[in-house]
Structure 1
Amino acid sequence: MEPPLELPTQRKRVIPSKFGILKRNAEIEAEKNRENLQQSSCFSHINEIGKEIGLEIWKIIDDSTIQKVPKVNHSTFETNKSYLLLMGQFYDGNMNIKTYNIHFWIGELLINSQETINFCNDRIEELERIIKYNQKQFDSEQFYPEPILYREFQGKEGDIFMSYFKSYGGPRYVAPLKLTSASAAIATAAKQYKLFHLKGRRNIRVKQVDISSKSLNSGDVFVLDCEDFIYQWNGSESSRLEKGKGLDLTIRLRDEKSAKAKIIVMDENDTDKDHPEFWKRLGGCKDDVQKAEQGGDDFAYEKKSVEQIKLYQVENLNYEVHLHLIDPIGDVYSTTQLNAEFCYILDCETELYVWLGKASANDQRTVAMANAMDLLHEDNRPSWTPIIKMTQGSENTLFKDKFKKGSWGEYVNDNFEKKPITGKGVAAKAVQEKINVDALHNPEKYQLSKEERKSTIPTLHHVDDKHRGELKIWHVRNRNKFEISQSEFGLFYNQSCYLVLFTLFAADGSNNSILYYWQGRFSSSEDKGAAALLAKDVGKELHRSCIHVRTVQNKEPNHFLEHFQGRMVVFKGSRPNATTEVSLENLSSSLQGLYHVRGTEPINIHSIQVEKAISSLDSNDSFILVNFKNTISYIWVGKYSDEKEAALQISSNVFTGYNFQLIDEGDETSEFWESLETNSSLSLLKDYYTQLRTVEQEKKTRLFQCSNNSGVFKVFEIHDFSQDDLDSDDVMILDNQKQIFVWVGKESSDTEKLMANETALEYIMNAPTHRRDDPIFTIQDGFEPHEFTFNFHAWQVNKTQQDSYKSKLSAILGSNNSGPASPIMLPTSGVTLKPTTAATPKPITTPTVTTPKPITTPTVATLKTVTPAVTLKPTTVTTPSKVATTTNTSTPSPTTITTFYPLSVLKQKTNLPNDIDKSCLHLYLSDEEFLSTFKMTKEIFQKTPAWKTKQLRVDNGLF
C-alpha cells in the first residue's frame, strides 16, 4: 500500500502594503536610472559628485575622456584645453540644502572650435543631470534650487569664477608644451622657464607671456618661474593688490615644488639689488622694460563693459518659437515683468542669461536655451560671451543687478506688451540713477510689504513653569567637536569655533531647538567649514526640528547673547586644549590684558579682549585690566558708562583669584597708567575717546556701503555692522547722529570717492531733523581716528593698518616692517582734532578754497570735513606719516609770544590789540593765569588732544 501523499506545508502569504510596493518599485527604478546614468556618463564615481562642499574641477582630454583635476592644481588652466567646474555651497545659510554653480571654461586656443563648445555644452548638461539625480536620492521631497550654468572663456571670466581662485593669486594660464616623447617631455619641463603677467583692478588675472625683458612693464607685476628660483618683479607703478596676489602665486608655485624653490622679490626702483641672474635667465636688461602706459589701463583691462540690455520672453506655440521683446519700465527692467509660467532671455551683449520660470514647461525651457545659442552667433558677438542658465529663485547677484533696485521678488502674472522681433530692438541702456537719500533716512517706507511672521526661535524668554531650557556647547577642533563643561559657558576664543545648542522642553513632552555655530573673528577656514558640517550632524542626531544659525563674532544676535547673562568674554587666540576642560586657574598667565565691556542693554553686554593701550579706553564703557595675580588688577569705569555692574560680575565670575581695584575715570593712579601703557610718553598724553555717547545714539549709528562694482553707483545699509564690514574695495559712510564719516577704502575707485562725498553731503542736507551743522569727515583706510573707531566694539588697529603684501613678504623673508603712521584728522568749521604722532602739535588751519576738489590719491592719509553750510575746503597733503595740513607760517607759538594779556581782556574778542592772533587767544595768557584757567601748563596743553583743548577754550571764552 502506497504511503499517503504528503502535502507541502502551507505558508502564510504576506501581502505587502500598497505603499511598500510603491516604495520598492521606486527603489528599483532609481537603481535602473543610476545604472543607465553611470553607463552613459563620461564622469566616474557619479555618486560622489557634489557630495562635499567646495570646488571640483574636471579637464576634458578629448571627446570621450574627462579627467578629474587634483586640488593642488585647481588654479592651473592649460590654454589648449577646456574644463568643467562645480562649486557646491550651502543655500542661504541652510545646512540641509546645497546650491551649485556649474562652469565650463575654454582656453584661448579653443575659442573658435565649435566642436569643443558643443561637447562642453553636452557635458555641462550631463553634470547638471547628475547633480539633480544625487539631490533626489538624498531627499526626494526636499526643494533644491536649480544649478546655475556659466560659460567662461580665458581672459573673460566672470567675477564669480574669479572669486574661486583668490587664495591662489588668481587662475594661472599655462601654454601647452610641444613634446616629441615622454623622455623629452620630462627634460623640457625641467628646463623650461615660465613668465607670468599679473594685472587687474580688483580681480587680478594671471597670464603666461613670452619670456623676454620686453614683456615687462612698470605698471604690473611679473613672476618668473625657474624651477630652482622663483622671481617676483614688481613694477614701480604696480598696485599693492597686484603685489599681494603676485606673492600668493609665488608661494603656490613654491609649494608645488615641495618648497624646494627659493623666492626672490624684486622692486623696479630698488637700485641696491640688481639681481643679474634674473636678467640673465629672462634675457635682456632693465632698459627693455616698457612704460606703465604700454601695459594698458588696469580698470579697462578687467572691467566688463556695460552694454545695451534687452529682455525677451520665449513662447513655444503650435510648434513655433516666438521671442517677444519687452519694453523696460522707465529706464530699467523690473521683476514684475517676469512671469513664472514663461522663460526669458536677458541679452546684455557680452552676457546672455536664460531665466526659467518655476511653472514653465519643459519644452519651453529647451527652446529657450537653443534660442540663446542662436542669439550668441548673431551681430558678430564675441566668441567668449557666456550663457548662464538659472531657475526662478536661484538667481545670482549679477543677474539681479540688471533689474530695478528694490523690485526683486515681486513676481506677478501681468499681461505684457509684446513686440515680435522684426529687426534690432531698441536697447535699454544702463544709466546712473539718483541716490534716494530719503530711503536712507526712512528705509521702512521703501521696504516691500510682507506678512509678518511670529518668531519661532526658542529663547530664555520662553522658560517658565511649563518650559525647561537646556544649553550645551561644543568646541570645534580638527574636524571634531568636544563638549565643554558648564563652568566654561560664555568663554570664547577669537581663533576658535563653537557649537551652541539651546533646547526648550515643554511639559507635554514636545521640544524645540536652536543651534548656533559661532565663528571666531580670526578662526581658520577649515574650522569654519568643520563647524558648519558638524552643526548639520548635530541637527540630524536630534531627530526633531532644529533652527541653524550661523553666528559671527561681533555680530551675535541678542537671543544668542542672553544665554550668558553678561558673562560672555572673547579672549585672543585659540582655545588651548581641545579634549579636556580648560581651567582658568591654569591659564592665569595667558589671561593678562585689557577687556572691553560694552552693550546697549543688560542682555547683550559682553566683553572682548582688546589691545592693551590707553587709546583703547572709552569714557562710555567699562574696562577690566588683568595683571599678574600677585599684583593689583583694575576695573576702570568710564564717566558715562552703564556697564559697571557687568564688569564687576565678569571680574568676580571669570577672573577669580585676582585682586581687583575699582577706579572711576578721573581718579586713576600713576600705577594704573603705567600698568596699562608701557610707553611713558603716551601714558602722559592719556589720549582716548572721552565724549558722551548716549545709548540711543549708539543704537541709531548706521553704516552704508558705497560701490559701483556693477557699473552703477549704489548705496546700501549694513545692519549689525562690525569692523570686518569695512571693505577696502569700496567707500563707507558712517552716521553716528553727531558726525558723518566718509571712510575711503585703499582700493576704491575715484568715482566711488567722489559720489560718496556727494551722497554724504546730500544725506545731511535732507536729514529729517536739523543736522546741517553736523561735520562730515573724510578719512583714509588704515588711518582711522578715535572719533571713528569708538563706533566699533573692540576695534583692532592692526587689522586695517597692516599691509597684506608686506605681512606676507615678512612671513617669507623674515623682515620686520615698520608700522603705519597714526591716524590724523583735519577738520574745518572750527573742529580741531590732533594726531597722536605729532611731536610738537600746532593749531591746525585750512586754506580758503572756493572750488571743491575731490581727493584722487587713495594712499593719502587725511581727514577733512565738509560742512553743508559752507564751501568744501580740501587740504593739501604731503606724506601719510605727517599732519596733513597747510600751515600758516605767521601763527604764533608759545615760545614766540612775549606780550601777555589778562583773561578779561582776551574774552572781549572786540577791540583787541593789533598784535593778537584771534585763532590762538589762549596763548596770550601768562603762564600763571594759564595754569589757573586750564589746570595745566602750556606744554601739557599742547600735547592734549585737539578736540579736548577746543572744548576747554570754548568753556573759558577763548575760542
Structure 2
Amino acid sequence: MAEQAFVGAGQRPGLTAWRIEKMVPVPVTKDLHKLYSGDSYIFLQTIQKNSALSWNIHFWLGKDTSQDESGVAAYKTVELDESLGGGPVQYRECQGFESDLFLSYFKATGVEYLAGGVDSGFKKVVRDQYDPKLLQVKGKRTVRVNEVPLKNTSLTKDDVYILDLGLEIFVFNGTTANRQEKAKALDYVRQVNNNERGARAQIVFLDEEPKNDKFWKTLGGFINVTKEGPDDDAAEKAHRESIKLIQLSDASSSLKTTDITPKDGVLKKDLLNSDDVFIVDAGNVLHVWIGRGASADERKNGVIYASTYLSQTKRPAQTPITRVAEGGEGAAFKALFRAWDPPRTIAFGQQPTEAKSAVEAKAVDASALFSGASAAENDDMFAGQEGTNAIKVWRIENLEKVEVDPSTYGEFFGGDSYVVLNTFTPKNNQKPTHVIYFWQGRQSSQDEKAASALWAQRLDDEMGGSPVQVRVIQGKEPSHFRRLFLGKMIVHSGGKASGFKNRNDQDSYDTDGVSLYHVKGTSELNTFATQVDEVAANLNSGDCFVLTTPHQVYQWQGSGANADERRVASNISAILKGHRAIATIDEGHEDAAFWDFLGGKAAYPTEKAGQEAEHEPRLFHCTNETGFFNASEVFNFAQDDLNVDDVFLLDCYTTVYLWVGQGANESEKQGAIKMANDYLQAAQSDGRGDGTPVITVFSGKEPAIFTCHFAGWDATFFHQPAFVD
C-alpha cells in the first residue's frame, strides 16, 4: 500500500519535503531549509518541461540521526520513487556533504542546521556556500574527471583543470593538453552549470598564462606550470583498475552480488542489463543504476546494499550515493562509460521558406551536449501546497496607483508599470501568504518604475511588513507570476503617459484595429503573448500568433508550435475577440485577407520547425570587462539581456550566432570567435557535426531569423536613450 503522505506528490513543479517522525514521513510545510541534525528527511524536486514532469529525490541524513530513521528514509524514498513510476533520480545526502544540486534548491535562504530533533532549537549553523574543489580532466580515448588537491602544484601542463568555486567555474588548459580533454572539460562545466547550479555560474576560460587573481589565490599563488603529469595511457590504465561494476540480481531466487568489472576496466553501456540493478564504484561516489525491468526487491535494496558496500570497503560514511533510473542518467554517470551516446544522424540544409515537419514539444534533447535546465522554469513559490490565489492589480498612472478592472487581469502594457498583490490561502486553513509584485514594462518611464517600487513598499508597510516583495521585469517574469493568470497573460504595446518627466506625452496605444501578438513558451507556466509589429516578417514557424483585425481574429499556428502554445493562443484569441469571430489557421493555409492585414507576404523564419525545435536556444554573454575574457550563460533570456557593450553567442543548434554590440571591443570580438569555434568543436558529440555555420550579426541590424528567438523583439530598443532626464 502506498504511503499516505505521498499521495498526490510530484504533480506540480517545485520542492516538497517530509521529515521522518516516529518512523513515518510527515510533510514539512514551511522552512524547508531548516534541518535538524538528529532527523532524516526526504525531498522531492518536481520539474516541468513542456507538459512532461521529471523528478529528483534526495534523502537527507542528519549527522545525529538514528540508524532506524536513516533506514526508513532510504526505504520510503524507494516507495516514493515507485509511486512516480520509477523515473526519478535518487540522491543520498549527508549533513555537511550535500550535493551541489541539493544545495541549489536553497539559494535564497541557505541551509540551516539545527541541533537535536524537531523539538530542539539550539546552535544554528548557516550553510550557503559551495566547497571549492579542483578537478583534473585527463585521458585520451576515455577522458576522466577526478578531484585533486586544491593547490597550484596539482597543475600539470598536459591536462585540463577545472576550479569549481560554486557560482564561478574556471577552466585551465595546459599547454599540451589534448583535444579530447579540452572538449570534455567544456562538456563537464556546461552540464554542471545547467544541472547543478541553475545555469547561474560564471564560466571563466584561462589559456594557462592569464594571471587571474581569484584563480591563483585560491590555489596558493601564481606559478609557471611546467610539470608534466603521468602519461595519459598510464593514467587511463590506473583508473580502469580502480573502477568497479557490481551487479545486483535475484535471478537465482535470492539477491546476489557479482563483480562484473571488465578486465580492461573500460565500462561500456551494454554491460548494463535492464532486468537488474548495478552499482558503479567510481572511487569518490557510488552510483546505483536501476534497470527498467528490475524486480521490486532489487529496486528496494540497491541503495541499502551500496551503504553496506561502503562499510565493507572501509570508505567514509559520507561518500555520496546516487540512485539513477535507466533512461534518466546524468552527465556524471555517463562520463564513466565509453561512448554512452552514439552520434545521431542529422539532415542539414533546411530551407528558409519551407517548414519541414510539425513538432509537438520544444524540449531540450537530454542526450545532447551541454544538456540541462536551459530555459526551463521550476520556481513555483507554492509548489506542493494546495490552496487558492486571490490577486489585485494596480497600474501606475500619474505616479499614483490606480486599481485595474478585474476583467482585464493578466493584460499589461509595455509602456506602463504595475503593482500586483497575490494572497495565497492554503487549503488546510493555515495563515495566508502575501506576495507583492511590481511589474515594470520595457518602455515604462524611469519615474513610473520608481513609483511602482514605492507603492509596493507602501502596500507592504500597510500590511505590517509580512508580504514578500518581487521586482518583475517585462520578459523575465518568474513562473509563479505568470501562473497567476492561468495562461492568459498578454503584454500590449504602448502605455499611459507618464505623470512626471514625460508630462506632455500622449497615451500610446495601437488604435488602427490591427494588432499582432506573438505567443511563445515551453509550458503553460511560461507561455504568454507579446504584441509585435503587424508585418509578415515577424511570423515564425516555431510559435503561434494571434492577429486581430476590425472584423475577425486569426489564430495562426506555426507548424513547429507546441501544444501549450496552441492552448495559450486559444486563450488569448478568446480574450481579444470581443464581438469578432475567431478563425484558426495552420501555417500554409492562409487566405489573401490574412496577408493583406500584414502588409503582404514576406519571408519569415521557418527553421524552428526542424531540428532547432528539439533544442532550446541558449545565450552566452562574452566579455573581458574584468581584464580577461570569460563567458557565462544567460538563463531565461530576453532582448534586454543583450548589452551593447559586449558580445553574445546564441546557440540555436543548426546555427550559432555571434551578436556584436556597437560598444564591444576588438578583444571581445576575437575572444567570442575563438569561443564559438571551441564550443562547436566540443558540441560535435551531440550529432550536429562540424559544419554548423557561425553567423555574425550587429546590434540594430538583426535579421528576423535571429530576433525570432526573443519574445516580443523591439526593433527600436537599442536606439533609445538609457535614461530619460
Q: TM-score, normalised by structure 1?
A: 0.35
Structure whose alpha-carbon radius of gyration is higher: 1
**Could you say which structure has the higher strand fraction?**
2
Q: Which has the higher helix share?
A: 1
Q: TM-score, normalised by structure 2?
A: 0.46
